[in-house]
Amino acid sequence: MGVETERIRSLNEAPMREGAAYVLYWSQMNRRVDWNHGFAFASQLANEHGLPLLVYEGLTCTYPHANDRLHRFVLEAVPGTAAELKRARAGYFFYLRATRQHANDVLYRLAAKALCVVTDDYPVFIAATHNSSVPERIGVAYYAVDSSCVVPMSRHEKRAYGAYTIRPKIKRELPTWMKPLDPVTLRRPWNENLLPADLRELRTNVTPENIPGLVAGCEIDHKIPPSPSYTGGADVARRHLDIFLEKKLSRYAGESNQPSKHATSDLSPYLHFGQISSLQIALAVRDYAAEHKLMADDFLEELIVRRELAFNYARFVTDPGTLDNVPDWCKRTMAKHAGDPRPVTYTPEKLERAETYDELWNATQKELLIRGKIHGYYRMYWGKKVIEWSPTYAQALQVMIHLHDVYAIDGRDPNTYTNILWCFGLHDRPWGERPIFGQLRYMSLDGMKRKTDTSAYIREIAELERTGKDIYRI
Ligand SMILES: Cc1cc2nc3c(=O)[nH]c(=O)nc-3n(C[C@H](O)[C@H](O)[C@H](O)COP(=O)(O)OP(=O)(O)OC[C@H]3O[C@@H](n4cnc5c(N)ncnc54)[C@H](O)[C@@H]3O)c2cc1C
């Protein structure tokens, strides 16, 4: 069976090119070969038209907040992708635009010989911008394919108010969509001679050995070092999944809110850069749980309901990172408490440097600075405290988005904006009135100490900071 039409959007009226040399798949967000509906759809088109398939993947120095951490994570996946595409008989054109002087029109030049362009449907950040501007200029048919969600985003006609409104719909739809994606065998193998010589020399050869040198040669922010915890790559993502199944799934329901227990999957960086598919994870978890008589509901709630609520939110708003999008009760309560005294405030710089009086909060911020991700439970506490310590709600929002943009490997994601806005009441409900927060949910240090082993976590992060090594790296 082919890729479902519900996953495919045609984004322009341009025709398929007559006499084309290949089909072009532009891998913007789903930087993987397996379980990729965009790649599969492009392969289908290639077979239907008797053409080979070329995959284009780019990484540019102009990527917003481009830095060593993000570049390293993306580049580490490239040799694996190259090997998989070779096995699949597709061509691969990886282009690292190291400086602003380097060519900025590679996609257009590749598209000039393509039957059509197939790319990833993604509701935020750079891919959303590309998908709204490129189709009009590209001159051939342009399709965006949703391989981000288990239940395609198009199955939701409107913005959901909260998890409780989207959950029943997702549950109803799941039996239709929880099924493996059949790989498509390409009939016409790729032939390098199809690439014009001037383009061939622009291609970047990436090997595990040359990655540090490539990163060093890019005009990007070199102050943010690579993560000592997360190595990029579809194979590493798959290892995280295997470890999750074998060692963590059985503990997830009981310990996922205990950061020092490391019972969560750590898959969010890989999901963000599309190095693994949520459908693949969901099926693997469901099947493993059935075979070993484990409960997977709590994990699947996060992976499918919560994550797809975030994609739903992002798809239906114009700017996902603004307080205009929170419900009216949040706006009213913030307006009422905007002038409340803030007994303690910190500048964005102090927050960034993890210089507050709160040892736990400082540890969470250091986890972001060093690992590039904060444990989910403490991430809520992290966000709530930024609200408490900022002079205005707007500044708190800006600080949180900025810190995610720069440091979080899983940042710049529908989950980033949705969860940061959750701290301001999005997808939540009113709670008891209190200063600064009004009816927004509040989280306290005492609560964290009662419910979690804060000392173990603080020790772990101190050790990470001292040694620069993460014993949890896989
Ligand atoms: C202030 C704040 C900011 C956040 N920023 C991000 C972000 O930038 N990127 C990001 O992916 N997540 C973000 N989250 C959500 C959550 O913290 C992370 O998804 C989770 O910690 C990732 O770790 P994991 O992969 O080990 O999660 P697991 O518990 O193993 O969950 C598996 C997957 O389910 C999804 N998931 C888990 N929790 C949530 C949630 N609350 N909402 C939506 N999806 C969820 C993620 O894709 C995650 O990888 C944020 C949460 C808060 C409170």
Please report the atom of ligand 1 found closest to the CA of residue 374. 21
Using CA atoms, how far residue 137 sits from 8, 9, 38, 55, 60, in Å, is 20, 17, 21, 20, 20
Cβ(143)–Cβ(119) under 8 Å? yes
pLDDT at residue 402 in the model: 98
| Torsion angle of C-alpha atoms 318, 319, 324, 329, degrees rounded to 10 | 80
- Name the residue of 268, 298, 416, 442 whose CB sits within 8 Å of the most ligand 1 atoms, as the mutation to test its pocket: 268
Q: Hey, what domains does the chain have and what are their CATH numbers?
A: 5-151+195-216 (3.40.50.620), 319-467 (1.10.579.10)
CA of 201 to the centre of ligand 1 (A): 40
CA of 427 to the centre of ligand 1 (A): 15
Q: Whose CA is nearest to atom 21 of ligand 1?
A: 376
Q: Which residues of the chain have pLDDT under 50?
A: none
Enumerate the β-bridge partners of residue 58.
95
Interstrand relation of 53-60 and 114-120 (parallel, antiparallel or unpaired): unpaired
Q: What is the DSSP letter of 434?
A: B
CA of 267 to the centre of ligand 1 (A): 9
CA of 410 to the centre of ligand 1 (A): 8
Cβ(145)–Cβ(120) under 8 Å? yes
Q: Give dist(CA 136, CA 11) in Å, integer.
A: 8
CA of 269 to the centre of ligand 1 (A): 9
- The binding-site residues of ligand 1, defined as CB within 6 angstroms of any ligand atom, are 256, 264-268, 271-272, 302-303, 306-307, 310, 376, 379-380, 383, 404, 408, 410-411, 413, 415-416, 419-420, 422-423
pLDDT at residue 53 in the model: 98
Q: Give dist(CA 396, CA 172) in Å, integer.
A: 38
pLDDT at residue 51 in the model: 98
pLDDT at residue 4 in the model: 97
CA of 415 to the centre of ligand 1 (A): 7
DSSP 309-360: HHHHHHHH-S-TTSGGGS-HHHHHHHHHHTTS--SS---HHHHHTT-SS-HH
